[in-house]
Amino acid sequence: MKTQRPLVFLCAFVPEWLSMSSSAKPPIVITLLGPTGVGKTALAIELAERINAEIVSADSRQIYRGLDIGTGKPARDQLARVKHHLINIIDPDQA
């Protein structure tokens, strides 16, 4: 059985941006996609550390505080390594 790996997409790249000054360039967005349990979080953290980036979670369940089991949230040590956004931002009763 072949191991599944996350897919990595570099989104919204336009060749003309190469000649633009760094202050005029739009931000580059790297998107990691894949099924649960294939290593997206570990890859995102490693990548963010290498390129000095932050992580924005787009998981619809990771926004909730206290729902750690079953949501695949990064562990506390992982959250401490790289700044994460949109994780643990609201209580479940606020939805």
Give the tens place of pLDDT for each residue, 65-94.
998 888 889 999 999 999 999 999 999 999
User: Of 70, 72, 73, 69, which is closest to residue 88 (Cα–Cα)?
Assistant: 73
Q: What is the pLDDT of residue 10?
A: 46
pLDDT in tens, 4-44: 666 555 444 456 666 777 677 677 788 888 888 888 899 99
Burial grade of 55 (CB within 10 A; 0-12, 13-18, 19 or more): buried
Specify the residue for token string 């790289």. Answer: 82
* Residue 34 to residue 58: CA distance in whole angstroms: 12
The predicted model scores a pTM of 0.73
Across the chain, how many H-helices and E-strands are there? 2, 4
Query: DSSP assignment, residue 90?
Result: B
